[in-house]
Structure 1
């Protein structure tokens, strides 16, 4: 509760709520003091504050509802204020009778509206969202919570409460305007009532809910052979986005199944059908017997809702190749196969001693790095460029590989101290600072330092990427990837060659591969960024987050074997920067070539064709071994 109050106050919601409270209190004071004009004005103002609270103070609006001070209660309190004011104003009983009848009818309809909206919210609290699916199923709009609700609500409430304290004896004004208010409120209630009745009478097919029936119809017609399943917040979208171009090229019919609304809305453009079913029971009610292979880019509990199906076979594909401890955990035993880029991936599981048989490992290369260019394939940039791409701090201290807090500021300052000789491109992990505010502060300090370097006269040009990429959510990921590549090239060509750049990972920023190709060298942490960059065979340095010496660190994290190790005290930074600036020789080229093959497989196998072959093989295996379960 305290967090919600702080968040509400910080976002400027207090103003609308304070205005509502002040006008309501003033109306009460005016009624007690028999100040007719003050009471009228304050009541009208408090009614007009209702849409402001709904639009600008939703958090406080929910808190007021939890305290039994929702819109219906507030309307009833205004009625009480009118009755209190009428004690000193009405000279006969007829205004009181008229107000009691029309306000009672209005309040009854208001309660009916609130009840219906609550029922609809409950019924559709977990909608099924779809993309590229030919069905009417999806996120439906709930009557009564649309922004224009108050276009009828405000006039209706004003027509009930204001006229009653404008008259002293006659009642015809109260009757006429009150009837109009009741009519408006009735029009507002008709929709929700009809919707509630429809939802109560709707029936499924005996197995699944009505909302899932059209989804099943689509699945029966589409007959997907491959499913990719992912659950997580919007910050996890990169875990599926990285696979979209590859999945679109598969010869098998492919379906993407997501489990969280915010993840669905953060999904990049794709022509593949997408279903987002937050409820496990909704997803498990679907018949997915046509599916042969399920692919999983991350280990998460919701995977069980697909893994439970005996009619398909599963493969863990990950969302990047790295030496992080999360790359080899016991959860992996649930999959039929574990797809790794190269032999290094299989060795990680072997070192972890998880009891996974060798025949479970399938080497599929890295189709995402097909466009990574080696130093010999592209002329060097006019100014040697250091790409600093740190990872985030991880979910816990056991996965804290990030260098930002330990050496980030020192590294950046060292590179920026050589204007004209070195350029810096800073591209942090999308989750940087998500768990540890100290890391977030260090990240922001780096951004400010780069901004200052660009604006102090050392370099010219913008310090942040400002690309313009128009994404069609239902468009092709392959086409968008090609379009993005052209925009990336235009961005780099239009930038001052010496300008430092901050790249915030997102749909409108230069891709990681683009940053690789524009860089002369990389400074990174233990992550998939490091493994993918090795394909370029360019110099790199890697941060040692452990308390072990460099030799032990390389033994534990083989992806660091062909680079410069940077220790927690900054040792190694000057040595590496000297190599990039050309002040020291680069004598690790042969080592990097060997390491690239170990991490990612032979250059000829880091292709889509290798991945397609793995999908074909697992589909064939599922057809043989799971046939009895589909009988």
Structure 2
């Protein structure tokens, strides 16, 4: 085949790929890499970048941070860098933050080369984060997307970042215990949980019956941290409680992504629920519920400040050491779910013990405090970066 024909074929291939990425059939979990080409030759007007290379199905990790990022934007300009244009479009609609989509690493390099980015924040451990972690002229901070007692919350990946912003002492203790050759106390900054600083929402009680919120986690991508209860508990919980209670089901966005059986049970549970919360804030689900049933997950910890009854399911896999799990009796598959919920609603036997754990896990939960600490921590890290980078430049470093 001649060179000209090869060129035509290649251009056609690229055109078809672009059309596919723009179509509705492109998987939501796969970044479409449709770059904002009109901005690729411009500098970012930002000191802080939030790097989010994952697809739109993972926006649940980013959304709870948007209010805090908007507050930070008032002091230090923030841009969110995406690899998926659909995710960027959602965040543009839901926030006033600058959003930029890139297609490949070289574009990130070019943009950083003409910008003055000082701090990069990460809400997950996506392997593509390493494309951004390569840059030495900025400091890199992992903020995560909610603290939990899941085994996956402890990861050797924390060593890739300059600092981790953590909610409470529980996170430092967890990391210190499990991660070798890592000075957790020195590399961690406690800020609380800014995601909980949401607007106060009105409650919508059922006038005739109590409300149970069932909010399980997903099946997980690793068998060792598969804490989801849908398969073991889900349908039995719904059948035991429906009618007596209003049951709100809050499904995890990734149910069924790894194991199709979870997707099938998810559909069946939705059909039995009185309400399915997919597009409402977590704070609204919390406000409308009298008791929560959940799994080993961040949802359990975020519920603690509500001071309302909490029931956690017992997973099929071992649970890491946890003060919360040692405090609460875990609900076995096949238990008398109706009797357990009745007891917790009437007596709440673990209320005092849970109250003692709030600060340990979440820090100061006074509204606004965590967001203020987050902004202050970013300011401090940026100041350190400026001092350190000036010294490196004096020694000949060029960046980015």
Q: TM-score, normalised by structure 1?
A: 0.54
Match of 2:163 in 1: 337
Matches within 5 A, 1:438-449: 438-449=261-272
Match of 1:566 in 2: 331
Structure 1 residues 261 and 399: CA distance shift in structure 2, 3 A = farther
Gaps of 5+ in 2: 22-33, 395-400
Number of residue equivalences: 372
State yes or no: 1:249 paired with 2:23.
no
Match of 2:88 among 264, 274, 288: 264
Structure 1 residues 308 and 368: CA distance shift in structure 2, 3 A = same
Q: For 2:290 and 2:200, locate their aligned partners in 1 and report how far apart those are by CA, in whole Å.
A: 11
Structure 1 residues 371 and 257: CA distance shift in structure 2, 3 A = closer
Match of 1:621 among 372, 379, 384: 384
Matches within 5 A, 1:369-384: 369-371=196-198, 382=207, 383-384=209-210
Q: For 1:265 and 1:338, locate their aligned partners in 2 and report how far apart those are by CA, in whole Å.
A: 28
State yes or no: 1:349 paired with 2:175.
yes
State yes or no: 1:503 paired with 2:397.
no
Match of 2:225 in 1: 399
- CA deviations on 1:369-390 (whole Å, 9 max, x unpaired) are 124879xx97975321110001
Q: For 2:314 and 2:384, locate their aligned partners in 1 and report how far apart those are by CA, in whole Å.
A: 42
CA-atom RMSD in angstroms:
3.1
Find the structure with the greater CA-based Rg: 1
Match of 1:10 in 2: none
Q: For 1:398 and 1:325, locate their aligned partners in 2 and report how far apart those are by CA, in whole Å.
A: 8
The answer to whether the 8 A contact 1:522-1:540 is kept is yes
Matches within 5 A, 1:311-460: 311-357=137-183, 358-371=185-198, 382=207, 383-418=209-244, 422-450=245-273
Deviation at 1:308, TM superposition (A): 1.3
SS in 1 for 2:213: strand
Q: TM-score, normalised by structure 2?
A: 0.84
Higher relative contact order, structure no. (Cα contacts within 8 Å, ≥ 6 residues apart): 2
SS in 1 for 2:357: helix
Gaps of 5+ in 1: 1-110, 128-137, 141-210, 451-499
- CA deviations on 1:273-319 (whole Å, 9 max, x unpaired) are 11111211221222165111110001122212221111111110001
- CA deviations on 1:495-530 (whole Å, 9 max, x unpaired) are xxxxx21122xxxx2211101011111000111111
- CA deviations on 1:592-631 (whole Å, 9 max, x unpaired) are 2111111101223753111111111111111112223456
Structure 1 residues 448 and 124: CA distance shift in structure 2, 3 A = closer
Match of 1:232 in 2: 54
- CA deviations on 1:412-465 (whole Å, 9 max, x unpaired) are 1111152xxx21110011111111111111111112223xxxxxxxxxxxxxxx
Match of 2:288 among 489, 502, 518: 518
Match of 1:541 in 2: 311
The answer to whether the 8 A contact 2:291-2:345 is kept is no
Deviation at 1:233, TM superposition (A): 2.0
SS in 2 for 1:570: coil
Q: For 1:390 and 1:123, locate their aligned partners in 2 and report how far apart those are by CA, in whole Å.
A: 37
Q: For 2:379 and 2:114, locate their aligned partners in 1 and report how far apart those are by CA, in whole Å.
A: 19
The answer to whether the 8 A contact 2:124-2:144 is kept is yes
Structure 1 residues 246 and 547: CA distance shift in structure 2, 3 A = closer
Q: For 1:388 and 1:265, locate their aligned partners in 2 and report how far apart those are by CA, in whole Å.
A: 30
